[in-house]
Amino acid sequence: MKDYNKKPQKAQKDGAEEQIAKKHRENAYSIHKSEDKPLELTNAYQYSQVLQLEHAVTNFMEYFNKIIQLSPNYKVYLENVDRPQETSVEILPAMLRHKLKCAAELASLNELGKLPLLEELNNYESKFSASDRKPILKDLKESDLDKMSASVNNEMVRHWNEVSRKAEEEEEEDGYEPEETKKKWPPKLPEIKNSAIKARVFIHKSMINDKLYLSEHDMIKAHNERLEFLGDSILNTTITMILYNKFPHLSEGQLSKLRMKLISNERLKKWSFLYKFNEKLRTNLDKTCENNDFKHGKQKLYADVFEAYIGGLIEDDPKHNLPKVRKWLSKLASPVIEEEFKKDDDLDVNEVDINAKKTLYSLIGYAALNLHYKPIQKPSSEDSNALVECRIKDGTVLGVGKGRNIKIAGMRAAQQVLQNKPLIEKYANLRAAVPRSDSVVKGPSGSKRSPPSDDGDDDSSASQQAKRANLGPGNDTSSNSRIVAMPDGSLAFN
């Protein structure tokens, strides 16, 4: 006889999953909850919380990828576990802890293609758009919203719906980066639809100077100088915004230097020839004479006509053409920017790792190695960069760093050493081979001193050495013992 009170197996499963989901919802956002009130717009995010979240996501991705790059797969891990006699002594303790196994399993899942989340996370930034409200991670569906706890009130949802709608309308017009990966060169020139404005772009002032029948107002409106003035301002602002948004880690000086390369007369002249503006320009200047103002001015009027064309686009249709100018100039400037970065060492967009020195010392540093940083060039009016060498006791230079000050240059020197894997392996093995008793520096009296810090500074203050001398093991001192200064500055018992 059937038991009609018994729920079908699928229904029981769905009920169990709902209970689990309900429990997760109850625990979700616990740091924000206060009683049962919905979260308000003002307290959904706190500033310090946002800073920590962004920092955590950045570190999460960096270290997740580092695990995949460094770790062997699980098969290799097991081979090492099964043959401990062939494993280095300094590595063996780590094999008994959980971290290497966890890393090996993650690397194996990635090798087998079973870790799609990592690929999604790596591509997250490129797929992100502030105007797109759909989830990017595949396992998160829009339908899941109904299962989540209310973390914001309805007013906030309506607010963000309105913001997103407006952003979607503007996104089509105001993008900076080209969407196509394979671009034709040169990028398509935006079109000036008003024929009168387009004609004025290519009329040089020399064509109007002898037209005495024109009033001053008519003369101003008949050539391209006003359009050049407008275009110069738009060009400067647009290139500034492109560089400012594209390179958040460049300093003001580096941005200014790069901008000058992009808006110089020589660069604009090349772009003008690229679009054959030189063939369209109408002028009364003699272009054939070798010693005239035209030659002495390095053909500046060709740079001017390029700016005039930008001004013509804005005068023709400012609302629709300004985003087009931004996209066009972004594509046009891209190879120039790439070229400048290759030949100019001052344009360094790599973020400085503030923990580079500590990381390096933790890998290879010990007292006898005397890892330290030697400034070899300070910033000056001739060269605004500092140079610092990362050295060891015998004077060997492990790496060199450049930066706008000594501190940053030192960090970059450590970063350069960290990128040299064979070098790191060599000195890490040397450190592992040094007996513990020999890994400290001894003074003339035989008393032990602490090893130098990661920047090579040796802590040898009298008070700390005296404290170590009094408290160190094996120091048999009588009541008449006293600490005296040695000729070399160290301390000893007398």
In degrees, rounded to 5, the angle at the alpha carbon of residue 12 between the alpha carbons of residues 9 and 13 is 90
Backbone angles phi, psi at 321, to 5 degrees: -85, -25
pLDDT by residue (tens digit) across 415-442? 999 999 999 999 988 888 887 665 555 5
Give the separation between CA 66 and CA 417, rounded to whole angstroms. Answer: 17
pLDDT by residue (tens digit) across 249-272? 788 888 998 999 999 999 999 999
Number of helices (H) and strands (E), helices first, in the chain?
21, 7
**Superfamily of 195-343 according to CATH:** Ribonuclease III domain (1.10.1520.10)
Asked if residue 29 has pLDDT above 60, the reply is: no
Give the separation between CA 140 and CA 486, rounded to whole angstroms. Answer: 70
Per-residue confidence at 175, pLDDT binned at 50, 70, 90? very low
Write out the residue limits of the CATH 3.30.160.20 domain(s) in the chain.
356-437
Q: Cis (ω within 30 of 0) for the bond into 135?
A: no
Average pLDDT, the chain: 75
Q: Which helix (H) or strand (E) holds 375?
A: strand 372-377
CB 359 within 8 A of CB 428: no
Asked if residue 466 has pLDDT above 60, the reply is: no
- In DSSP notation, 22-82 reads HHHHHHTTTTT--TTPPPPTTTSS-HHHHHHHHHHHHHHHHHHHHHHHH---HHHHHHHHH
Backbone angles phi, psi at 66, to 5 degrees: -65, -35
pLDDT by residue (tens digit) across 60-93? 888 888 888 899 988 888 888 888 888 776 677 7
Per-residue confidence at 11, pLDDT binned at 50, 70, 90? low
What is the CATH code for 356-437?
3.30.160.20
User: Region 109-126: what's the mean pLDDT?
Assistant: 83
Per-residue confidence at 377, pLDDT binned at 50, 70, 90? very high
User: Region 220-236: what's the mean pLDDT?
Assistant: 94
**Residues designated catalytic:** 232, 307
| Residue-level pLDDT at 171 | 38
To the nearest whole percent, how much of the chain has pLDDT over 90?
A: 29
| Residue-level pLDDT at 475 | 44
Asked if residue 238 has pLDDT above 60, the reply is: yes
The one-character DSSP state at 434 is: S
| Residue-level pLDDT at 236 | 96
Write out the residue limits of the CATH 1.10.1520.10 domain(s) in the chain.
195-343
Higher pLDDT, residue 327 or 451: 327
The three-state secondary structure class of 248 is coil
